[in-house]
Amino acid sequence: MIKVGIVGATGYAGAELVRLLLGHKEAEIVWYGSKSYVDQKFADVYRNFFQLVEDPCLEDQLEEMAKQVDVIFTATPQGYLASVLTEDILSKCKVIDLSADYRIKDVATYEKWYNLEHKSPQFIEEAVYGLCEVNREDIKKARLIANPGCFTTCSILTAYPLVKDGLIDPNTLIIDAKSGTSGAGRGAKQQNLFCEVNESMKAYGVTTHRHTPEIEEQLGYACGKEILVNFTPHLAPMNRGILATEYASLCQVTLPDGSVGYPTEEMIRASYKKYYDQEFFVRVLDGDTPPETKWVEGSNFVDINFKVDERTHRVVMMGALDNLVKGAAGQALQNMNLLFGLDEKEGLAMAPMFP
């Protein structure tokens, strides 16, 4: 059995990790870390785990945890892991970080967008960006995984094939994304109160959201050059879900008949098929069916589709996922499965919940 420790187990992403790991045949949670609830039973914090988890919450002592576990998940605020990670910890166990501390390779970019000083930049280069469908082989050999964020996972996977194949101009990419309120975490914040969120929708972080450089960096790798995108997130009055609607100009390419023109719908669908046909967790929908958050809720699936606008020579790409599963805990578990040579779907093959 893989022995697991979770730092930040009583946050939304941490609790989702617990839920998923309880259904994993090859893993056992031995450390429920939570600074806010030390010595309290985990099931008293989350009553859905009554009679399923009897363990108390323990302090977040990574040095001691590393001696007892095979992998540590850190579901913590930005800056935490960077301030405590050591070579000794990495020599004893794998670490999968759900924060942004090791996602961005350029330290100055991280410090600018997150307004934090990076405390352990020596580990950034070796950290592998844990987008399984793109970096699978590198993930298998890693000891430190930078688990992608929810907005970024949805935004990147939705556009990746068309960027990779040069079918769109990535510098024209506009990403309009909506998130459920659980994406803001469990901390008490006035702007996330029911009366503030219900019956309303708003944009936030306009032109300044800190997931922007992460999207640019990863899609830049796909096309082999630095790019700039417009990314605007919105808060939606729902518990879970990310819906990304993305717009980009099509590039002129060589068509099947040898002429030069804009990619056809068949060419674009073939691009998605090439990259995702063998990916269990990425579902490219048929026809004009748009992705909906309700059809991925509680699951590790990403639903994707697109529509070509022949009038403007642009393409509209759409993606939906559950921000707490594929956007956080599920993807982290998928990374763990790869690290330990397990079936990638272990503990994650459940169908989405509805209603």
Reported as half-sphere exposure (CB side, CA atoms, 13 A), residue 332 has a value of 34
Q: Taking Cα atoms as reference points, which of 235, 233, 236 lies closest to residue 215?
A: 233
Beta-bridge mates of residue 33:
7, 58
Decide the pairing of beta strands 302-309 and 314-321: antiparallel
Amino acid at 86: T
CB 131 within 8 A of CB 125: no
- In whole angstroms, give the CA distance from residue 238 to residue 236: 6
Q: Return the SS3 of 32.
A: strand
The single residue listed with the structure tokens 């990259």 is 275
Active-site hit among 57, 93, 132, 150: 150
CA 191, chain centre distance (Å): 23
Active site annotation includes 150: yes
User: Taking phi first (over 0 means left), then psi (-120 to 50 degrees means alpha), and beta for anything else, what does residue 79 get?
Assistant: left
Cβ neighbours for 65, distance < 8 A, ≥ 6 positions apart = 5, 7, 31, 33, 72
Max distance between CA atoms of the chain, in angstroms, equals 70
Extended beta strands in 75-217, E state: 94-97, 128-129, 144-146, 174-179, 202-203
Amino acid at 333: L
Catalytic residues: 150
